[in-house]
Amino acid sequence: MADTADTRTPAQIEADIKRRREALAETLDEIGVRVHPKTIVGDAKAKVVSNIDHTLGRAYVQVNRVVTDVKASFVDDEGAPRMERVVPVALVAVAFVGVLVLGTRRRKG
């Protein structure tokens, strides 16, 4: 059989117990912080904010891409307006506003 006798002095054993007790207290403090309701809520809020920021960033990129594409269809490479595309869109917009104005005048009258 192997000899399992402890060769440490009582002072060494006490010091070891003290170190282990301090390490255990530190671990319990960390656990207490992690499971505290404020910590859990704070972590959840941070996760939601991160997800929202990520979603808004993707939306911004998508909108920017669409705006660039629309602008490219109405402006040539030198920045001059493409009148063959601007005029028809302007006429449709004016007609739409005219229909809205006539529709509200008929309802009032």
What does the pLDDT look like over 72-91, one tens digit per residue? 888 888 889 889 988 999 99
What is the pLDDT at residue 100? 92
- Residue type, position 63, single letter: V
- Supply φ then ψ for residue 82, to 5 degrees: -90, 95
What pairs with residue 81 in β-bridges?
75
Q: What is the DSSP string of 72-84?
A: HHHB-TTS-B-HH
What is the pLDDT at residue 105? 80
Please give the sequence-ordered ranges of beta strands (E in DSSP) within the chain, or none if there are none: none
* Extents of the domains making up the chain: 10-74, 82-109
- Residue 36: helix, strand or coil by DSSP? coil
Q: Are 89 and 97 in contact (CB under 8 A)?
A: no
What does the pLDDT look like over 1-58, one tens digit per residue? 455 677 899 999 999 999 999 999 999 999 999 899 999 999 999 999 999 999 999 9
